[in-house]
Amino acid sequence: MTEATIFAENARVLAHEALPASQYLLRLQTPQCAKTVQPGNFIHLSCGHEKFRLKRPFSVLRSNSEQGWIEVLYKVVGSGTEDLSHIKVNDSLHCMGPIGNAFNLSASTKRPLLLGGGVGIPPILFYAEQLKKNKKLTPMVIMGSEIPFPFKVQPSKLMIDGLPNDVIASMTLLEDLDIPSRLTSRQNYSGCFDGYIHELAKLWLDAIGINEHDTIEIFACGPTAMLKAVAELSHQYAIPCQLSLEEYMACAVGGCAGCTVKTVNQEGQEQMKRVCVDGPIFDAKAVYPL
């Protein structure tokens, strides 16, 4: 897992789109960050023009190194993101990034299983697009949300063996890239699996058979309960798994140690790690040991 150089930039707002359920898509002109950001990295962004308000961490959804922009997807959950939702095109926000480590594909992996829940969707989409550039890989993506999905959804034309016939909802962007994907929700959304991400992932793992499990690696980002369930799934099937954690943080560069989590190393010793600079990507066994 590679750590990126952190750049401080005054990011100009290129676009700011309101989406269902108080979700927003923000595009920022950040030439230096856009050149080096990798899936799993995040930025630390001011949420308005107030000088003394703490920045907020946001996962990167997409980047364009040639045009020098990045995109973040966020949901209004507090005063900071509420202020951010009122930012206008051509406004300037202070941005630090990319921060943290990135997802790291093992050499033996041929079938990456990407799992994204709620606010954990952005880095999963970013990684899926990157992995598709490698013709030797066949990624599978499962995403879940309990609010309307912040992107176009369509019935999938890409068949996936072993899944219920009525589970056909997929993300249009991934369909266009020829990446199989399915959606889950407990809100009775049309075509979605009525259950949780790890439950649909289990059906897929059972369908492809144990002989294929050594070609799979799991990458997940989402709420804590989801990550714990995914970690247990990876233990059950003995499949490597990387988790992207999300924690509240003040400085985002390791100074305040406000985002520490307990981990266990290979010798079984407990260690406190900072999500901002030691992560946000951790091995599932380190965060949720057997």
Distance CA 107, CA 115 (A): 20
Residue 17 pLDDT level (bands cut at 50, 70, 90): very high
Answer whether residue 254 shows pLDDT above 80: yes
Distance CA 51, CA 53 (A): 6
Distance CA 263, CA 265 (A): 7
State the pLDDT at residue 212.
86
Range of weakest confidence among 40-44, 186-190, 219-223, 251-255: 251-255
| Percentage, residues of the chain above pLDDT 90 | 86
Task: Give backbone dihedrals phi and psi of 11, rounded to 5 degrees, phi first.
Answer: -90, 125
Write the burial class of residue 92 (CB in 10 Å: 0-12 exposed, 13-18 middle, 19+ buried).
middle
Residue 273 or residue 50, greater confidence: 273
Residue 191 corresponds to which tokens in the numbers above? Answer: 């075509």
Residue 268 pLDDT level (bands cut at 50, 70, 90): confident
Distance CA 232, CA 210 (A): 17
State the chain's mean pLDDT as an integer: 94
Tokens 């989406």 -> residue? 19
Nearest Cα residue to 171 out of 142, 211, 198, 196: 142
Q: How many CB atoms lie within 10 A of CB 173?
A: 15
Query: Sign (positive/negative) of CA torsion 176, 180, 185, 190?
Result: positive
| Arithmetic mean of pLDDT, 178-183 | 97
Distance CA 181, CA 148 (A): 17
Q: Specify whether the backbone of 189 is left (phi greater than 0), alpha (psi in -120 to 50) or beta.
A: beta
Distance CA 191, CA 51 (A): 45
Distance CA 222, CA 283 (A): 15
* The model's pTM: 0.95
Domains defined for the chain, CATH in brackets: 7-99 (2.40.30.10), 111-244 (3.40.50.80)
pLDDT in tens, 63-117: 999 999 999 999 999 999 999 999 999 999 999 999 999 999 999 999 999 999 9
Residue 51 pLDDT level (bands cut at 50, 70, 90): low
Answer whether residue 3 shows pLDDT above 60: no
pLDDT in tens, 102-144: 999 999 999 999 999 998 999 999 999 999 999 999 999 999 9
